Homo-oligomer: A and B are copies of this chain.
Amino acid sequence: MPSLRLALAQTNPVVGDIAGNSEQIFAAAIRAHNAGADIFAVGEMALTGYPIEDLAARPSFLAEAHGAVTLLAERLAAAGLGALVVIVGHPDGPFEARLAGNAHAPTAIAQNCASVLQHGNVQARYAKHHLPNYSVFDEYRIFIPGDELLVIRIRGCDVALVICEDLWRDGGPVGRVLKADAGLLIVINASPFERDKSEVRLPLVTRRAVESDTAVAYVNIVGGQDDLVFDGDSVVVDSAGGILARAPQFVEHLLLADVEVELATDIPLIENVARIELDSPLRVKPQLSSDITAPAEPLEQVWNALVLGLRDYVGKNRFRSVVLGLSGGIDSAVVAVLAADAIGASKVYCVSMPSRYSSDHSRYDADDLAERVGVPYETQAISELVLPFESQLGVTGLAAENLQARVRGVILMALSNAHGHLVLTTGNKSELAVGYSTIYGDSVGGFAPIKDVPKTMVWELARWRNSLAEIRGETPPIPENSISKPPSAELRPDQADQDSLPPYEILDGILEAYITRALSATEVVALGFDSEIVGEITELVDRAEWKRRQGAIGPKISGMAFGRDRRLPITFRPSTVEVSALL
């Protein structure tokens, strides 16, 4: 059987920066060529970044992307890479008059495409058939689905090309590819990280390979883009589903693999297939060493996803530093360490803002963390700032508690305005769920690194990160006391989270059922939780929607994150009358 050398580049594009992303692709193509690749592929929308959202509705943006593909083809040929078969993901359009394939979104003017470049030209183009329109995806809003398959004959082998969701749908284009009897299926992807997703993706790739007796090459982008983290994890499997090569997660990488591909025989008669034939001269190739990286353990994956999401938000938005409040508690400690891992401790400005209710141990724990991590650190006591409000406004109780949190927010924003720091907000998913935070107070910030991490997992991550330090012979960054002490907002004397909330193990169990699994309160109770607690918690979750809507974005790591993953009305009332009472 002929052997084709594949090079899959997991690049880290910046949404919008077509010229910069094109440069990344070009640089990776050179490396691929030098490594003897016959075919070079990058991820879905690697040219523009993903998701481009309503940029896809701008004719000028589409025209720029279209032009950049042509230019890339020319540039590759001019650099002596004309023979390399290059597959690049990009939006194409505008298609106002020519196509009208998305009747439910008549304003869509673009397609989600993969172009095949060789010898300075665009040789073929495939448009994604299946446009995900669930979870965080809005592709049916902005794209017109394609309806034609693409099969490329290279050295007598048939190579089919599809895009991301096309692989997932049974009976979709991949089903037709099987009938087209291709020897290799290349799938370009922009598939965001979720906990346990690598346990779903690889079996899918393997299953597609086995059921079609076809090798499969899966290439994903990498990097943080707003609330999504693309983890890479590109892979090549042979026609028996065996792993030939697998890229590491969360880093840019060029994955090389030699794939044996069956020679094409008869062409099956199936409709709507574009077939092209490309030359591909045999070259003397350098020897390949094996490149198979196993994914890290689950907590390490989550940590790495959070670090990458934070690093790229900072870098792609051109911040040079971050600032956050250190309370001595576990949330701000974990965020500080994540930030230090992401951009270096010297750029993580930490502020302790004790009030008259702050315990000595809180101040000590904050000081301790700052010293362990080596961050720039200052103290801004808030009492003298809060008192004038209290006396002028005469507020007490909850209003006075919130004053403290809001004064802290004002301090962090003043430091941000004065020095250009990005403010990080340290709320976790459990707090955001029940609204256990002060809006315009501790919620202040442009990025929320642990907003999709339940409190119980915040503790797990802290323990995992400390044990990593121990393995490395470093000082564990997070004070043991911050991990082990009972959590408290310290907005009044002797306050503890568990005065207002059930234990976090129970809270997180209820939230998982109500939010991630979208069960009703009745169904959550049926899982064994106390009905009164479930009633209170689900009401808190519903009522906090307005706060969440005004919250900072942060990296999605779960199957159901707050934000565009879970779209619910603010104005919402459960039935005011028992339905049965109407009879």
The residues of B that contact A74 with a CB separation of less than 8 Å are 583
Given the interface pairs A395-B418, A440-B413, the reply to whether A583 lies near B140 with Cβ below 8 Å is no
* CB of A465 closer than 8 Å to a CB of B: no
Q: Which chain B positions have C-beta within 8 A of A336? A: none
CA distance A145 to B172 in the complex (A): 19
Q: Which of A202-210, A212-220, A355-363, A514-522 contacts B (4 or more CB under 8 A)?
A: A514-522
Q: A580 — nearest CB in chain B belongs to which residue?
A: B71
The one of B18, B60, B107, B402 that contacts A579, using a Cβ cutoff of 8 Å? B18
In whole angstroms, what is the CA distance A145 to B105 when docked? 13
Q: Which of B54, B225, B407, B522 contacts A568 (CB 8 A)?
A: B54
Residue of B nearest to A570 (CB): B226
Bound form: Cα–Cα A409–B438 in Å: 13
Task: State whether A414 and B389 are in contact (beta carbons under 8 Å apart), knowing that A16-B575, A58-B520, A572-B15 are contacts in the complex.
Answer: yes
Q: How far is the CB of A35 from chain B (nearest CB, A)?
A: 23
Contact indicator B103/A409 (Cβ below 8 Å): no
Q: Which residue of B lies closest to A131 (CB)?
A: B104
A39 to B550, CA, bound (A): 44
Residue in A74, A317, A380 with the greatest tally of chain B CB atoms within 10 Å: A317
* A502 sits at the interface (CB 8 A): no
Hey, what's the 0/1 contact readout for A48-69 against B, CB within 8 Å counting as 1? 0101111101111100100110
Residue of A52, A169, A572 with highest tally of chain B CB at under 10 A = A572
Known: A104-B139, A418-B395. A17 touches B55 (CB 8 A): no
Which of these binds chain B: A19-27, A82-90, A488-496?
A19-27
A68 near B579 (CB under 8 angstroms)?
Answer: yes
Interface residues of A in 8-52 (CB under 8 A from B): 14-20, 22-23, 26, 49, 51-52
Cα–Cα distance between A33 and B581 once the two chains are bound (Å): 23
Smallest CB separation, A347 vs chain B (Å): 18
Contact, CB under 8 Å: B75 / A104: no
B576 pairs with A20, CB closer than 8 A? yes
Is A364 in contact with chain B by the CB < 8 A criterion?
A: no
Size class of the contact patch on chain A: 35 or more
Q: Do B410 and A55 have beta carbons less than 8 Å apart?
A: no
Nearest chain B CB to A330's CB is how many angstroms away? 25
What separation, in Å, do the CA atoms of A518 and B61 have in the docked complex?
Answer: 10
Question: Are B411 and A393 neighbours in the complex by a CB distance under 8 Å?
Answer: yes
CB 8 Å contact bits of A387-431 with B (1 = contact, 0 = none): 011001101011100110011011101110110000000000000
Pair A570/B104 contact, Cβ less than 8 Å: no
Q: Contact flags (1/0) for A118-151 with B, using CB distance below 8 Å?
A: 0000000000001111110011110001000000
Q: How far is the CB of A288 from chain B (nearest CB, A)?
A: 30
Q: How far is the CA of A393 from the CA of B312 in the complex (A)?
A: 30
A575 in contact with B19 given A75-B583, A553-B549 (CB within 8 Å):
yes
Which residues of chain A (506-564) have a CB below 8 Å from chain B? 518-520, 522-523, 546, 549-553
- Residue from B22, B60, B410 in contact with A389 in the complex, judged by beta carbons closer than 8 Å: B410
Report 22 cross-chain contacts, Cβ distance below 8 Å, ordered by A residue. A15-B571, A20-B576, A54-B518, A60-B519, A60-B520, A60-B522, A75-B583, A104-B130, A104-B133, A107-B135, A133-B133, A133-B141, A134-B141, A226-B570, A316-B571, A393-B411, A395-B418, A397-B418, A399-B414, A399-B417, A402-B413, A406-B409
Besides A104-B132, A104-B139, 19 other CB < 8 A contacts?
A16-B572, A17-B575, A19-B579, A22-B582, A59-B520, A60-B520, A71-B582, A74-B583, A75-B583, A104-B140, A108-B134, A133-B140, A138-B567, A226-B570, A316-B571, A384-B388, A393-B414, A409-B440, A446-B546
